[in-house]
Amino acid sequence: MEEKIIKTEYSEVMQKSFIDYAMSVIIARALPDARDGLKPVQRRVLYDMHELGIRYDRPYRKSARIVGDTMGKYHPHGDSSIYDALVVMTQDFKKGIPLIDGHGNFGNIEGDGAAAMRYTEARLERITQESFLSDLDKDVVDFVPNFDETEKEPSVLPVKFPNLLVNGSEGIAVGMATSIPPHNLGEVADAVKAYMMDETITTKGLMKYVKGPDFPTGGIVINKDELLEIYETGTGKIKVRGKVDIEKGKGGKTNVVISEIPYPMVGANISKFLLDVASLSESKKTQDIVDISNQSSKEGIRIVIELKKDADVDNFVNMLYKKTRLEDTFGVNMLAIADGRPEIMSLKQIIKHNVDFQFQVTTRKYTTLLAKEREKKEIQEGLIKACNVIDLVIEILRGSKDRPMAKACLVEGKVDGIKFRSRESKVMAAQLKFTEKQANAILEMRLYKLIGLELEALINEHEETMANIYRYEDILDRHDSMAQVIINELDGIKRSYATSRKTVIENAMEAVYVEKKTEEMEVVFLMDRFGYARCIDPSVYERNKEAADGENKYVFTCKNTGKICIFTNTGQLHTVKVSDIPYGKFRDKGVPIDNISNYNGEKEIVIAAASQSALNLYRIIFVTRLAMMKIVDGGEFDVAKRTVAATKLCEGDEVVSIAIFNEQKHIILQSAEGYFLKFDVEEIPDKKKNAVGVRGMKLGTDDYVENVYYTQSGMPSMIEYKEKTVDLQKLKAAKRDGKGTKIRV
């Protein structure tokens, strides 16, 4: 076969492939359907459990069995994604109404994960069985082929309430994400009924019923006035606070008890909250905390913070709102698949899509039921008619040679070949006109049906069938009747499964935290060669001066209200607030400097850190490996950012020395090959921090600046160079940009 090569633009192929991939992720994996509020993986798990018969009134089955069956039949995307979806549908702290009843360790609100799927068991919840899956046998939704076309799966589940609102949804697709908060089932049901009564109702009108989100963790929504715009546009930010109670503690102390947390804090953020509260005490933001304990259990959240006797409780609680995640935001983006495409919807649009879906499902349901009742009616009428002429029917059956002959007589009145007892019977038999279904029912009828009571029951059943037909036709013909059926089902769901609201909706004042002004004082900054930093009192330093100077790489005095500047060999400046550095005893270990700054282990810190307030008063000398140098005014480094570029470097260059210009007379550059160049510091020009500077020394091909020394009156000038003592004062002074004098060793 001759090869056919198709030439096309690479960019076009990439564009088409990416769009196909993006749409696959958006439609088939990440976003929920507006009709049933489920992502494909969730829908497939629930349907598979239904098919396996793992109902709410039957024994639990291993999660691994459910996951494996779902993956093999419907969702070939890996077992972890299926199990994760199953786990979330069991967690009552994430879902407004859990859809799966889990047995075993399915994780907890504090962020502990579920046990492996081989250990846990699950079954459907009753509401899932009754409101999501009960009508699948009535042709209410379309079934589509699975991934390999060996099975059929529902394209959507016939959910009887707006699950998208009740349970919410979160998912990240390609270029878009959905984030819908959970709501109260009873309120949503009332809003749906209000919309069905008046389709012109506004979002504001619907919010008389749906007050706002109802998070399973409770909490307090504090921006009530902003909710209307959020529900009209489908996007916005909901501010949520935890619930705080004040209790009397032992010895006159006060306990701040957190009994409900903001929904975004679910999971590992609880432990982070505890660490944040502890760090407030460690960093001296507050000195009111005596103890913190997490007393949470299966009964609920209980985090106790014990305060000192004289603590300002209101100010402390406001500090928690401001400085921790006890007040957080839930970003709303009500994005779902509607009519086959992703769409951001308002509250009213979500309800409208669900109501339209309910009418479609109900129409198909009662069309199927009506067809079945009409079929029953046909058969019942045939049996009743047959009972009225039962002697003739028996005569036909006894006189026929086979079933087809008897059936032909019952349906078409053919009497040829049938033996009758009398001519009258033959004439009557020729007049019979049963339908095919009636004839089959007559031929299969058992003799006990001829008992009087059975015949009476058949007549009653026929009357009931006629009543059903009349009711179904009325539902299908009249919009109001169908609407009432949907409303009745909603009322039943509300009565059985609705719970009282957990989240309080209100307008709260902005938390105002008055930070206590730190009393300014001098401290001594210590940092050892391993990068551990701490501050101590000057008097403590004086008592341990020898040990402090010997054990630490950097030692200097600064203000506790100032900042520390860390210059690095890459030309960066990292600033650290002195208040963030632990203040304590001389033998305290301190904290790694990279934990409290953006410094992340550049090659090496090349200058003793200096107080930022001191830098404003001085000029800074920069010298690089390639002998570029300059003096920069320290005020240029008084910036708000935690990290800035301190100098500009050429390719392959790095900073080797930074020093504060403080009465130095001469600077001595020492190269790796042993050249020493001494010249007046005044020859170094003043430059901006983003300048490269000027060359200070002529270097050989592979030579570079290794060390920088300064001479200053009253300071020692003797150094050790390769086991030889060099007196810097005796070196001959030259001009900048010379080669220097080589020291012979």
**CB atoms inside a 10 Å sphere around CB 729:** 12
Amino acid letter, 193: K
- As a whole number of angstroms, the distance between CA 281 and CA 582 comes to 11
Determine the longest span between alpha carbons in the chain, in angstroms: 151
Alpha-carbon radius of gyration of the chain: 41
H helices, E strands: number in the chain: 21, 35
Amino acid letter, 69: D
Q: In what order do the strands lie in the sheet with 591-592?
A: 552-559, 522-528, 532-536, 591-592
- As a whole number of angstroms, the distance between CA 554 and CA 526 comes to 6
Using CA atoms in the order 133, 139, 144, 146, what is the torsion angle rounded to 10 degrees? Answer: 40
In three-state secondary structure terms, 250 is helix
- As a whole number of angstroms, the distance between CA 283 and CA 172 comes to 37
Instruction: Tell me 113's DSSP state.
Output: P
- The two three-digit tokens of residue 735, written as one number: 């001009």
In three-state secondary structure terms, 555 is strand
Active centre residues (catalytic): 119
Q: Which residues contact 472 (CB under 8 A, 6 or more apart)?
A: 366, 369, 370, 373
In three-state secondary structure terms, 535 is strand
What are φ and ψ of residue 256, in 5° steps? -95, 115
- As a whole number of angstroms, the distance between CA 163 and CA 166 comes to 5
- As a whole number of angstroms, the distance between CA 232 and CA 211 comes to 13
In three-state secondary structure terms, 237 is strand
- As a whole number of angstroms, the distance between CA 432 and CA 388 comes to 12
- Sequence length of the chain is 745
- As a whole number of angstroms, the distance between CA 429 and CA 424 comes to 9
- As a whole number of angstroms, the distance between CA 304 and CA 245 comes to 10
Closest listed residue to residue 424, CA positions, set 383, 386, 395, 404: 395
Amino acid letter, 304: V
Q: Which residues contact 444 (CB under 8 A, 6 or more apart)?
A: none
Instruction: Tell me 264's DSSP state.
Output: G
Closest listed residue to residue 173, CA positions, set 40, 351, 14: 40
- As a whole number of angstroms, the distance between CA 647 and CA 690 comes to 5
582 and 595 in contact (C-beta within 8 Å)? Answer: no
